[in-house]
Structure 1
């Protein structure tokens, strides 16, 4: 057994039932403690995306903070991850992806609350926040080793995998396949563009994210709708197939080898969590920079990130793959999704997918650069931030020349390790989340009453 096989087994173990149960279980805990807030307060949360007060201390608007977080979460997982989940777990995996997203919304809300509650300012008067800060400032200094563990994991993920190599390879391979451009040339151009953006800090990153994320999401959603509308009459039967496959084994069909219920559950939940990152602790790093005085306000806005990522974009991908029938074929990953797009728009579809995939991956690079930077700052201060950015840019360049399966597996492992200290902190600080929620809901109630009195 070689090293890659050993690492693959470790990865399968870490991303196995214990962690998935802990991730979903934390979401269930907050769902009940907060009175199913992801349902009752979703309309309010969606309104806040564009109408938040933005009058608190922070570096960027709440909308920009959400876009920065979405930049890192809406990515290849929405295209490749969903296809992989369906290929291994069958249509039922999509149902379990919905389950993970539903409870994940409550988790993401809690992360947003704590990110604002315990954020700090660095020597440059810039906002710093995230799990490492709410562990130390919320749980106490004796838990600092837990925060250090999280920060180290975050840096490794940013530099060695999800933030660099995997995204670079997605972009270079996709563009090479569609336009025939040498991956090395694409990699060099990508490196220069990334450098221009990230050396401007969070404000530059958020500006790019606020422009690119809405655009790329709109284009991708439009393409998925075209596929779905082309098979509109099959939607009811597709719903039945998804629900049936979620609770009963799926028989082998064509290139699909068949799937048990446990395979549907595991792949649906694992890919769902991997896509929206609820509970992994990455999104609250971006949420902490939002201009707001109300932790619960940013919690609600953060919650919409999981809604958009999984319940909208991943769902549309899943329906496109099932309705087009490509999930039953021999293709997997991005090629499966490309086949679905090609079935509706033979020439334009694949090109649109290439553009979407490239933009998704590009913004994921930007988002993870910021996450890694804040983890680096927590450990070493702001003095060497420029050195971190230089190393990050070099990793982008190296990524266009290498295909390192081992590094991807290691990044996957470390990404899972980020979740452990974060989930411990979330559960420990549950009373704080509840208290902040009650405070904000009372504030909204009084604000509504005052508005009503003035109108009278």
Structure 2
């Protein structure tokens, strides 16, 4: 087992090394420039995300689609991942994480566009889509589509179920003394009640849970920032200067260097928003939308909320708290956010615990949908019941076992998902430009297209 763990650990380090980060960030930059900075339309995207369009074709509303994608994306990475980046890369990692989110908006926009452009309608009237359909229908590469679907299905048992279940069970045990097996059983029951209702049930639950949990977490961050008001400006200066300076960061931090700050900031940003991973377009394809560009804009707003807002606030809370409270040991990334929230009297720690629980549970729900669509693409709808049962069972297993090996395998599967998706984005960039020109650059966002009626 140790040898197997070491093997997958080495493969994970190789896959998620500088070549992968350069590919992902390079794709972000390439699409940002080629699509004329779609980030400029972020407020239009936010408006569209809460605009109902029941006459458009699709299974769920645009907001339901976005909420489900955010449910899968907003997870423990927003809380623990940012803290780990600061611990390993210094405060400058926060800026690199934020910049990754800003440029990742263009990639998430592109993924959403292709999801609608190449989506299909099943024999029973459901709308299906995602990178596997873009690879098959857009490029004619069925073999690569099959590989993407396989890696997505495998990844769902890692990043989607076992890892999140373990985070929930460990949190409830440490905070309240609840046995991990009991937490696993409760989570399995709640998950079954949601996922057996299909995509509409998932979207409905996520539409309620995501805004509530995100708002509560943001309120907690704002309360801490009020307490740390006199340290906000110094924290911002420290983040900005240490992102590009190899000198010691100051303020009690040990200088980590530009390369480490960039490495960990970019890596955590990519993990957090999943732009380029290919997961979010699977549910974006189910949205009720008039044309591919409308949903592309809505999808792009997910990265804005996830990284540009939530991860940035987490980073500012952590850095300002370390400056305000010299007793905080910033060398342990996994506990940094917990220590920062503990400075809120009485309610800080319970608020963070609730945030971790809801973030992790929502990720479990969202990734179940991703895995379902991948398995359906590979083996047909008849496999759905078996997949759901196995997925729910893996949640219980994840709540009671050590997950070092699972983490390494999940990281490998995520990287193998990203590669085919990036191929589709880059080789179909001409399609992205054509559709963007037609609907966005020519101000025709309200027009219907044939793609939403297939």
Q: CA deviation at 1:258?
A: 3.9
Deviates more, 1:190-199 or 1:244-253: 244-253
Q: CA deviation at 1:330?
A: 4.8
Q: TM-score, normalised by structure 1?
A: 0.94
Counterpart position of 1:293:
290
CA distance in 2, matches of 1:250, 1:76: 31
CA distance in 2, matches of 1:53, 1:232: 42
Counterpart position of 1:226:
223
Deviates more, 1:65-74 or 1:323-332: 323-332
Q: Is the 8 A contact 1:110 1:299 kept in 2?
A: yes
Counterpart position of 2:304:
307
Deviations, residues 185-212 of structure 1 (Å, cap 9, x unaligned)? 1111111110111111111111110000
Q: Structure 1 residues 331 and 187, CA, compared in 2 at 3 Å: closer, same or farther? A: farther
Q: Is the 8 A contact 1:256 1:329 kept in 2?
A: no
Deviations, residues 330-377 of structure 1 (Å, cap 9, x unaligned)? 55344211110111x232101010001000000000000000000001
Q: What SS is found at the alignment partner of 1:191?
A: helix
Q: Structure 1 residues 329 and 217, CA, compared in 2 at 3 Å: closer, same or farther? A: same
Q: CA deviation at 1:44?
A: 0.9
Q: Is the 8 A contact 1:92 1:246 kept in 2?
A: yes
Q: Is the 8 A contact 1:154 1:418 kept in 2?
A: yes
Alignment of 1:353-372 (within 5 A): 353-372=352-371
Is structure 2 residue 418 aligned with structure 1 residue 414? no
CA distance in 2, matches of 1:442, 1:249: 42
Counterpart position of 1:451:
none
Q: Is the 8 A contact 2:210 2:362 kept in 1?
A: yes
Q: CA deviation at 1:138?
A: 0.7
Is structure 2 residue 260 aligned with structure 1 residue 259? no
Deviations, residues 415-437 of structure 1 (Å, cap 9, x unaligned)? 11100000000001111111111
Q: Structure 1 residues 333 and 126, CA, compared in 2 at 3 Å: closer, same or farther? A: farther
CA distance in 2, matches of 1:372, 1:332: 33
Deviations, residues 253-289 of structure 1 (Å, cap 9, x unaligned)? 7996541211111100010000000000000001000
CA distance in 1, matches of 2:105, 2:441: 22
Q: How many residues align?
A: 443
Counterpart position of 1:31:
32
Counterpart position of 1:193:
190
CA distance in 1, matches of 2:280, 2:422: 13
Q: Is the 8 A contact 1:87 1:256 kept in 2?
A: no
Runs (5+) with no aligned partner, structure 2: 448-454
Is structure 2 residue 204 aligned with structure 1 residue 207? yes
Q: CA deviation at 1:447?
A: 6.1
Counterpart position of 2:452:
none
Q: Is the 8 A contact 2:238 2:249 kept in 1?
A: no
Q: CA deviation at 1:236?
A: 1.9
Q: Is the 8 A contact 1:27 1:106 kept in 2?
A: yes
Runs (5+) with no aligned partner, structure 1: 449-456
Is structure 2 residue 65 aligned with structure 1 residue 65? yes
Q: Is the 8 A contact 1:58 1:289 kept in 2?
A: yes
Aligned counterpart for 2:242 among listed residues 236, 242, 245: 245
Is structure 2 residue 9 aligned with structure 1 residue 8? yes
Q: Structure 1 residues 443 and 200, CA, compared in 2 at 3 Å: closer, same or farther? A: farther
Deviations, residues 367-394 of structure 1 (Å, cap 9, x unaligned)? 0000000000110010111111111011
Q: Structure 1 residues 255 and 361, CA, compared in 2 at 3 Å: closer, same or farther? A: farther
CA distance in 1, matches of 2:251, 2:31: 42
Q: What SS is found at the alignment partner of 1:248?
A: coil
Alignment of 1:146-161 (within 5 A): 146-159=144-157, 161=158
CA distance in 2, matches of 1:126, 1:333: 43
CA distance in 2, matches of 1:377, 1:36: 35
Q: Is the 8 A contact 1:90 1:250 kept in 2?
A: no
Q: Is the 8 A contact 1:118 1:134 kept in 2?
A: yes
Deviations, residues 45-68 of structure 1 (Å, cap 9, x unaligned)? 111111253432110000000000
Q: What SS is found at the alignment partner of 1:3?
A: helix
Q: CA deviation at 1:233?
A: 2.3
Q: Is the 8 A contact 1:153 1:414 kept in 2?
A: yes
Q: TM-score, normalised by structure 2?
A: 0.94
User: Runs of at least 4 residues of structure 1 off by over 6 A?
Assistant: 252-255
Q: CA deviation at 1:98?
A: 1.5
Counterpart position of 1:87:
87
Alignment of 1:56-455 (within 5 A): 56-140=56-140, 143-159=141-157, 161-249=158-246, 251=248, 258-325=255-322, 329-330=329-330, 332-343=332-343, 345-441=344-440, 444=443
